[in-house]
Chain A
Amino acid sequence: DGGITQSPKYLFRKEGQNVTLSCEQNLNHDAMYWYRQDPGQGLRLIYYSQIVNDFQKGDIAEGYSVSREKKESFPLTVTSAQKNPTAFYLCASVRDTSNQPQHFGDGTRLSIL
């Protein structure tokens, strides 16, 4: 079955450490997105990419970095500059950008040790 796979499900970060969250899709979708969700809140856009080797900042990009070297993969790095990284991170993809619904993975929950 096609879908989006996020790993790991749970991740713990130590002070001063960078961590990378994986997002892989086999839907042949062009665009991919990273969102952050805090308890009881909606999704906030971190970064998005519409084509390989190109990405744009979302509303809350500070302290995060991404790459899009392959169409299927859009990893997110949470850097030590992100002072409040504890959250639920969601990756999504969409076939193209003409108002199509987004398909989401099941998220990675990041916590601070």
Chain B
Amino acid sequence: SQKIEQNSEALNIQEGKTATLTCNYTNYSPAYLQWYRQDPGRGPVFLLLIRENEKEKRKERLKVTFDTTLKQSLFHITASQPADSATYLCARVNNAGNMLTFGGGTRLMVKP
């Protein structure tokens, strides 16, 4: 089965620092990886999608990388703010493009 794993321990950082979250996958590289943000008691909200042939994708203070050699995606938030505190989920897209497999999510806490 195609697994996708995220660090289950919460990440605590100071405001203004860069947060880096890790997503590792097994077996073959997915054609796409997606990243979502989830606040407590709410549904996930889509943030970024990165394709297998893209090394890096940016959106404002967010950056995602995709390393098919390491079978890993990194999600960075630069100049982090307390409002960035949430759980971040990565998901791999299946070959047919119609299903997502989610990692367990990593909770980020940004302290002022």
Interface magnitude class on chain A: 20 to 34
**CB of A38 to closest CB in B, whole Å:** 10
Contact of B42 with A107 in the complex, beta carbons under 8 Å: yes
Number of B interface residues, CB 8 Å?
24
Tell yes or no: A104 within 8 A of B by CB. Answer: yes
**CB of B35 to closest CB in A, whole Å:** 10
* A90 and B44 contact, Cβ closer than 8 Å, known pairs A31-B98, A50-B98, A99-B93: yes
Chain B's interface: helix, strand, loop or mixed, by majority? loop
Interface 9-mer from B54-62, B66-74, B102-110: B102-110
Give a binary string over B60-104; 1 marks a CB under 8 Å from any A CB, 0 the rest. 000000000000000000000000000001000100111111111
B 1-53 contacts with A by CB, 8 A:
6, 8, 31-32, 34, 41-46, 49
Contact of A41 with B104 in the complex, beta carbons under 8 Å: yes
Contact of B96 with A43 in the complex, beta carbons under 8 Å: no
Contact of A43 with B89 in the complex, beta carbons under 8 Å: yes
Tell yes or no: A48 within 8 A of B by CB. Answer: yes
* A102 and B8 contact, Cβ closer than 8 Å, known pairs A43-B89, A97-B96, A107-B41: no
Find the B residue at minimum CB distance from A88. Answer: B41
Contact of B102 with A42 in the complex, beta carbons under 8 Å: yes
Find the A residue at minimum CB distance from B101. Answer: A45
- Could you list which residues of chain B lie within 8 angstroms of chain A, going by C-beta atoms? 6, 8, 31-32, 34, 41-46, 49, 89, 93, 96-105
